[in-house]
């Protein structure tokens, strides 16, 4: 079964909810709202919101309630991609086979659109009931995406661009820039399900392992990152170990863990059959 087939129902729910939450593309100022739609609705695996829904389902939670943090996480992810692509950061012209947001709409509009996506994410969280759950979710997502999370990892990545970062710095960058939002995705699913602290902690551990494995797979595909400090074989072995540990964490959820295991398997399947030398 393919990724899309396995998550067909979840993907349909996520995309429908994203369209519902986004301001209409023809709403004034139209160019700004068109740019927000473009940044969110032009592809992507929806890996983070799928994690949220999968954890919530595994814990027997309400998927409709989990859609709020799931979509908030996807909007935060998309805002970060728009900013990453800007000339001041990674200076990329293409994203998911299409011109990047700033190439299509200009740098100023892309920057404002990314700001709009970030603020909309937290507006969505205010709709979660009960209010205590909304506060917990807002705290988890803001911490994961802030200066002690994704933004901090991006800043460290910029610092590392002028020199070859050592292994400790690479760990910091990857755990924060990539891993924090993936971890928040699994925690959000558990919180939305009304899970106890022990189940939230297990969901967090699964997300931490998967987040680091996600970056390791990207490094294997790109021939960069950790491959500056270890051979492709070493990184491949480390990645498979992380994924195996993530599967073990998922299996504690019992018969409802199939989608969580599938997501770990999906990462392993993304690993290149021929790694860089």
DSSP 3-state percent helix, strand, coil across the chain (nearest 5): 75, 0, 25
> In this model, does residue 275 exceed pLDDT 60?
no
Q: Which helix (H) or strand (E) holds 270?
A: helix 258-270
Stretch 195-210: mean pLDDT:
97
Average pLDDT over the chain reads 95
Helix (H) or strand (E) holding 53: helix 47-58
> pLDDT tens across 214-231, in order?
999 999 999 999 999 999
Distance CA 70, CA 222 (A): 28
User: Tokens 């954890």 identify what position?
Assistant: 55
As a whole number of Å, the end-to-end CA separation of the chain is: 32
Share of the chain above pLDDT 90, in %: 93
pLDDT for res 273: 82
pLDDT at 277 over 80: no
Q: 241-260: per-residue pLDDT in tens? A: 999 999 999 999 988 999 99
Examine the pLDDT at 56 and tell me if it is beyond 80: yes
Residue 163, pLDDT score: 82
Q: Give me the pLDDT at residue 64, please.
A: 97
159-189 pLDDT, tens digit each: 888 888 899 999 999 999 999 999 999 999 9
110-153 pLDDT per residue, tens: 999 999 999 999 999 999 999 999 999 999 999 999 999 999 99
Alpha-carbon gap, residue 34 to 84, rounded angstroms = 19
pLDDT of 102 above 70: yes
- Domains of the chain (ranges plus CATH)? 3-270 (1.10.600.10)
Q: Tell me how far apart the alpha carbons of residues 175 and 40 are, in angstroms, rounded to a whole number.
A: 24
Which pTM does this prediction carry? 0.96
Q: Which tens digit of pLDDT belongs to each residue from 61-96?
A: 999 999 999 999 999 999 999 999 999 999 999 998
């Amino acid at each position: 079964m393919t990724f899309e087939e396995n998550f067909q129902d979840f993907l349909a729910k996520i995309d429908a909810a994203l369209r519902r939450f986004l301001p209409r593309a023809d709403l004034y100022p139209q160019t700004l709202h068109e740019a927000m739609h473009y940044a969110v609705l032009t592809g992507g695996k929806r890996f983070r919101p799928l994690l949220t829904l999968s954890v919530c389902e595994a814990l027997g939670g309400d998927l409709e309630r989990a859609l709020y943090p799931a979509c908030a996480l996807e909007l935060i992810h998309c805002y970060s991609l728009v900013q990453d692509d800007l000339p001041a950061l990674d200076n990329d012209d293409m994203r998911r086979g299409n011109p990047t947001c700033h190439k299509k709409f200009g740098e100023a509009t892309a920057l404002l659109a990314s700001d709009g996506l970030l603020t909309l994410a937290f507006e969505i969280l205010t709709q979660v009931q009960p209010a205590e759950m909304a506060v917990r979710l807002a705290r988890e997502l803001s911490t994961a995406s802030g200066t002690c999370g994704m933004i901090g990892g991006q800043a460290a990545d910029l610092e590392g661009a002028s020199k070859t970062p050592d292994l400790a710095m690479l760990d910091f960058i990857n755990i924060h820039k990539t891993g924090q939002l993936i971890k928040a995705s699994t925690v959000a699913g558990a919180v939305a399900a009304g899970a106890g602290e022990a189940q939230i902690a297990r969901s967090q551990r699964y997300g931490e392992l998967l987040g680091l494995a996600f970056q390791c797979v990207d490094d294997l595909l790109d021939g960069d990152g950790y491959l500056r400090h270890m051979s492709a074989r070493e990184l491949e072995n480390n990645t498979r170990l992380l994924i195996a540990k993530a599967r073990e964490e998922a299996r504690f959820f019992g018969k409802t863990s199939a989608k969580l295991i599938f997501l770990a398997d999906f990462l392993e399947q993304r690993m290149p059959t021929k790694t860089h030398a």
